[in-house]
Homo-oligomer: A and B are copies of this chain.
Amino acid sequence: MSLLVVGSIALDSVATPFGETADEPGGSAVFFSAAGSILHPVQVVGVIGSDYPLAVLKGLERRGVDLSGVEQAQGESFRWRAKYSYDLSSRETLETRLGVFAQFRPKLPEKFRNARYAFLGNIDPELQLGVLDQVAHPALVACDTMNYWIQSKRDMLLELLRHIDLLMINDSEARELSGDWNIYRAAQWVLAHGPRMVVIKQGEHGALLVDGTSIFKAPAYPLQEVFDPTGAGDAFAGGFMAYLASTDDLSPPNLRRAMIYGAAMGSFAVEAFGVKGFDNVTPADVRARVRVFKELVHFDMDGEKSA
């Protein structure tokens, strides 16, 4: 059950209260596949410049990530520079240099076109639609976006929504897209515009899965040490999609479990800079965190026995 991700492959320079990085490999496709490949093989489509360090990508390959859709173009890799506030609750983007990403036109290798699960990371919605045209019969297409596209390519984004199954966005993006500050009404707005499911990421407060009949709340993993929030959302997406691909089960109970696997992956992402938080993480480590989530939220109704 092949799993495809299209997204950025970046070099991040991030400052947190605990240190800083320079040109640390990151980007949505990298965080997604670093997390997802712990559970299931991942096919990546993206672009790197002539200056990209290949060691991290080789590491991903060793974990079952197929990089045959990663194009190396002449020029500079995509770079992003940001600084977090003292409590990590907000960040400021200091610089974005698109480099080779500016000319990126995703082209799927023939063997990726039968992907059953596809995640379209946060890129131009026009390119996301272009990717969709190249995937034959996906069981589930999920998609991220960001404020920049909501503002600059709203019509294209609305067109995209008509063609995807699940939109996965931050709470602030959901509010901006829908024009509604109530997160549950914002979710209903999304459902009325195409997708049958929406995942709203709430950072340190977890994430919501909303469909036409139910709401599921996954909390964030209780961490006493958070080092760098960068990539948590993409790691969440990687865990969510890889769990679905590995089980090939889109039933409501399995979607709920996928949310928890996503939340577990988000917690590994924030424990170190870049994708280092995933070094040596095994499926058993992930399952151990899933059990902690169960303990974190479980309660019995009066008069019921404990599960």
Please give the residue numbers on chain A whose beta carbons come within 8 Å of chain B beta carbons, in ascending order.
86-87, 181-182, 184-185, 188, 202, 205, 214-217, 219, 222-226, 247, 253, 256-257, 259-260, 290-291, 293-302, 304, 306-307
Q: Are A299 and B294 in touch, CB under 8 angstroms?
A: yes
Q: Are A302 and B257 in touch, CB under 8 angstroms?
A: yes
Q: Are A304 and B307 in touch, CB under 8 angstroms?
A: yes
Residues in B whose Cβ lies below 8 Å from that of A259: 299
Given A87-B181, A185-B224, A202-B205, also A217-B296 (CB < 8 A): yes
Q: Are A291 and B296 in touch, CB under 8 angstroms?
A: no
Q: Are B215 and A222 in touch, CB under 8 angstroms?
A: yes
Q: Are A224 and B184 in touch, CB under 8 angstroms?
A: yes
15 A-B pairs within 8 Å (CB atoms) are namely A87-B181, A184-B223, A215-B295, A216-B296, A217-B219, A217-B296, A219-B297, A253-B299, A253-B306, A256-B300, A260-B299, A290-B301, A294-B299, A304-B307, A307-B307
Question: CB-nearest residue of chain B relative to A247?
Answer: B302
Q: Are A300 and B257 in touch, CB under 8 angstroms?
A: yes
Q: Are B307 and A216 in touch, CB under 8 angstroms?
A: no
A3 to chain B, nearest CB (A): 18
Q: Are A256 and B301 in touch, CB under 8 angstroms?
A: no
Residues in B whose Cβ lies below 8 Å from that of A181: 86-87
Question: CB-nearest residue of chain B relative to A261?
Answer: B302
A180 to chain B, nearest CB (A): 9
Residues in B whose Cβ lies below 8 Å from that of A291: 301
Known: A214-B295, A253-B306, A293-B299. 8 other contacts (CB 8 A): A86-B181, A182-B226, A202-B205, A216-B297, A219-B219, A256-B298, A257-B301, A298-B298
Q: Are B182 and A296 in touch, CB under 8 angstroms?
A: no
Q: Are A299 and B224 in touch, CB under 8 angstroms?
A: no
A266 to chain B, nearest CB (A): 15
A258 to chain B, nearest CB (A): 10
Given A205-B205, A219-B219, also A300-B253 (CB < 8 A): yes
